[in-house]
């Protein structure tokens, strides 16, 4: 069984690194390191030796140029020993590693081309994220349903879950044929739903950003690259839930299972 090592990126406006690192530890990861982006850029740290890379939520570079755009440029063009930082991500993927992007980290993954990576095109942008249809920052809890046919290893065994969102640019946009392919290949592993009907919705505020087909997350075809707009690291214990004093909730928050699935996969397969 593998010793699980996770790296959690920090710096330049990322502000959820401690919660994300705590979630990895709570899920059973053996070694969890918080590493600053500039240490990667300076060659003082590397993704080598880690099976799980976490890109947490926050406001990279203050969302200048658009969410995660400035950091995307930095990771594509910063060279260390003749390789870009994006090349490190590609090599991590080629070795069978996992990548989890949450909110701002999801925005970074999409703009780097790590998701949806249709037909194995890792590093080729195929979609983007833009302003919520509401035209405002959305801070609310949403209900999600997992697709049991998705290849995503992070959502295995999950049926429904509640998680908070807090984003201004969460609407996934892509050419219609790309969106149709994502749906057909089950690479949208979580969707916003109407909790009364259990069906995917584009209706506001149940869907806080207006993404087509209710898609709240993306996975690549291997299931090892996963990004989502809701924050699983913000619901690890029942006391994180706004109704914890009024409902008989399980001790473990819904978001923890996403991290447990990653740790269990690594132990069993890497």
Look up the domain containing 138 and give its range. 5-269
The mean pLDDT values, 10 residues at a time, for the chain of 270 residues are 92 97 98 96 94 97 91 91 92 97 98 97 96 97 98 98 98 98 98 97 98 98 98 98 97 98 96
State residue 82's pLDDT score: 87
State residue 64's pLDDT score: 85
DSSP letter string, the chain: -PPPEEEEEEBTTB--HHHHHHHHHHTT-SEEEEEEHHHHHTTS--STT-SEEEE--B-GGGGTTSTTHHHHHHHHH-EETTEEHHHHHHHHHHTT-EEEEETHHHHHHHHHT-SS-GGG-TT----EEE--TTSS-EEEEEEEEE-TT---STTTT--EEEEEEEESS-EEE--HHHHHHHHHTT---EEEEETTTTEE---TTTSSS--GGGB-EEE-TTS-EEEESS-GGG-SBGGGSTTTTTS---SB-TTHHHHHHHHHHHHHH-
Asked if residue 254 lies in contact with residue 162, where contact means CB atoms within 8 angstroms, the answer is yes
Asked if residue 8 lies in contact with residue 58, where contact means CB atoms within 8 angstroms, the answer is no
Catalytic residue numbers, as ranges: 103, 231, 233
Q: How far is it, in rounded angstroms, from Cα 6 to Cα 99?
A: 10
Entry pTM = 0.97
In the numeric block, the tokens 């809890």 are attached to 141
State residue 141's pLDDT score: 98
Asked if residue 207 lies in contact with residue 174, where contact means CB atoms within 8 angstroms, the answer is no
Asked if residue 11 lies in contact with residue 36, where contact means CB atoms within 8 angstroms, the answer is yes
Q: What is the CATH number of the domain that holds 33?
A: 3.40.50.880
Q: How far is it, in rounded angstroms, from Cα 127 to Cα 180?
A: 12
Number of domains in the chain: 1
Asked if residue 257 lies in contact with residue 129, where contact means CB atoms within 8 angstroms, the answer is no
State residue 1's pLDDT score: 67
231-251 burial, b at 16+ Cβ within 10 Å, e below that, comes to: bbbbbbebebbeeeeeeebee
């Amino acid at each position: 069984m593998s010793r699980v090592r996770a790296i959690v990126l920090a710096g330049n406006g990322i502000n959820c690194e401690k919660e994300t690192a705590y979630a990895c530890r709570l899920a059973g990861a053996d070694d969890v390191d918080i590493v600053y982006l500039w240490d990667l850029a300076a060659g003082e740290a590397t993704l080598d030796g880690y099976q799980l890379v976490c890109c947490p939520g926050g406001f990279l570079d203050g969302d200048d140029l658009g969410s995660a755009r400035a950091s995307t440029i930095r990771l594509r063009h910063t060279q260390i020993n003749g390789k870009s930082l994006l090349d490190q991500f590609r090599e991590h993927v080629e070795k069978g590693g996992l990548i989890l992007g949450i909110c701002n980290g999801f925005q970074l993954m999409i703009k780097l081309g790590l998701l949806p990576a249709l037909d194995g095109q890792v590093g080729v942008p195929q979609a983007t994220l833009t302003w919520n249809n509401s035209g405002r920052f959305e801070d609310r809890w949403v209900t999600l349903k997992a697709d049991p046919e998705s290849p995503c290893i992070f959502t295995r065994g999950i049926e429904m879950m509640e998680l908070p969102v807090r984003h201004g640019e969460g609407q996934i946009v892509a050419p219609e044929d790309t969106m149709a392919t994502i749906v057909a290949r089950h690479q949208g592993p979580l969707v916003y739903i109407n909790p009364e009907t259990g069906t995917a919705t584009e209706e506001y505020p149940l869907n806080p950003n207006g993404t087509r087909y209710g898609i709240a997350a993306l996975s690549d075809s291997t299931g090892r690259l996963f990004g989502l707009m809701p924050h699983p690291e913000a619901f690890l214990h029942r006391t994180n839930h706004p109704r914890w004093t009024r409902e008989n909730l399980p001790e473990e928050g819904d978001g923890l299972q996403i991290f447990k699935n990653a740790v269990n996969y690594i132990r069993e397969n890497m």
